[in-house]
Amino acid sequence: MTQHPNNIPAHGGHLINRIATPAERQEFMEKAESLPRIQLDKRALSDLEMIAIGGFSPLNGFMEADDYESVVIDMRLKNGLPWSIPVTLSVSEELADSIKEGSWVRLDSPSGEFAGVLELTQKFRYNKAHEATNVYRTDELKHPGVKVLYDAGPVNLAGPVWLLERHPHPLFPKYQIDPAESRKLFLEKGWNTVVGFQTRNPIHRAHEYIQKCALETVDGLFLHPLVGATKSDDIPADVRMRCYEIMLEKYFPQDRVMMAINPSAMRYAGPREAIFHALVRKNYGCTHFIVGRDHAGVGDYYGTYDAQYIFDEFEPGELGIIPMKFEHAFYCTRTKGMATSKTSPSTKEERIHLSGTKVREMLRRGELPPPEFSRPEVAAELANAMKASQTN
């Protein structure tokens, strides 16, 4: 008998909810002016939101030193539960010195609005090179995740958090479906098995192919594009969302796909982030998770399938979500269709591969990606967006 996603426990056993109740919010508002303040950057704000809505279950706040160290070294929380990415709040020494452990701290958004509260249980210094080489497998500043780490303050503040209020997303309110709601919707749709798909790029033909291969074996596809902080040269979230809408309207069965935004920030941590992305989708109620070529990678820092191999470092069933591993898909000129080396008899010369980087370069030159790479409607949308950005 297939277990229903609504009965699949969140990571750690239950879905965390750290959104303040009206009474708690009132209490925090009354204290607001007297509390020490920290202005969060975009990533810290998205981490606060993801903790509060249960996307980062079992975390109920920013990590203390023993959890942090265990995650950096062993990809586990101190209690042994798999967790691959540190979730921390780093500040300057001066700011850390001005706040006492045991006190309440006001967390403001990048624009200065009161966003949440931290109950400060611990302050600790950390070794950036140690974190970089373990989590990102490099300490080069060219790596965007490493740069964020090295630009951050030297002291981590830890403790439980509360999000003051869950506001609708400013750009995509109808796609803001938090974990408690996605689980409910899967139940209503009668989906016993759901595969999650992480993306920070517009869906191209290779993505479409692996999503549809996965859909052949599960009840539903949870298309979950990341809309938090990304690299400056990644395609903006609003452009990507329009491309996803086109794809879902024209090329996917409406009753088998659900799209929602993932408010997280990208770390570009490759294999470690693949585990992290899978656990987040488990919290949203997914039973399966697609892991393709160079998942969450950047540059040449990770091997093509390192993000698949890392799943083998955990015992079968230990993660509580099933990875669906796909080879690099391409357009095969011999069979006139999408394929991988597992299904195509073609030679190297008969395979059309295009990366997201190559497509961005084509768009900047005013060229449309070929139909073997991108559906024509999506290519046109990307070209218009690129043209608009160059004229602004």
Write out the catalytic residue numbers.
200-201
- Beta partners for residue 118, in sequence order: 105, 161
What phi and psi values does residue 338 have, to the nearest 5 degrees? -75, 145
Cβ count near 346 (within 10 Å): 17
Residues whose CB is less than 8 angstroms from the CB of residue 290 and which lie 6 or more positions away in sequence, other chains included: 195, 196, 197, 198, 210, 211, 214, 323, 324, 326
108: number of CA atoms within 13 Å, CB side?
Answer: 11
Nearest CA to 54 among 113, 11, 20, 89? 11
**Could you give the dihedral angle defined by the CA atoms of residues 292, 296, 301 and 304, in that order, rounded to the nearest 10 degrees?**
0
Helices (H), the chain: 22-31, 42-53, 65-74, 93-97, 128-131, 144-151, 179-189, 205-215, 237-251, 271-283, 306-309, 356-364, 376-391
Helix (H, G, I), strand (E, B) or coil at 164: coil
Helix (H, G, I), strand (E, B) or coil at 90: strand
Q: 377, 246 in Cβ contact below 8 A?
A: yes
Q: 10, 58 in Cβ contact below 8 A?
A: yes
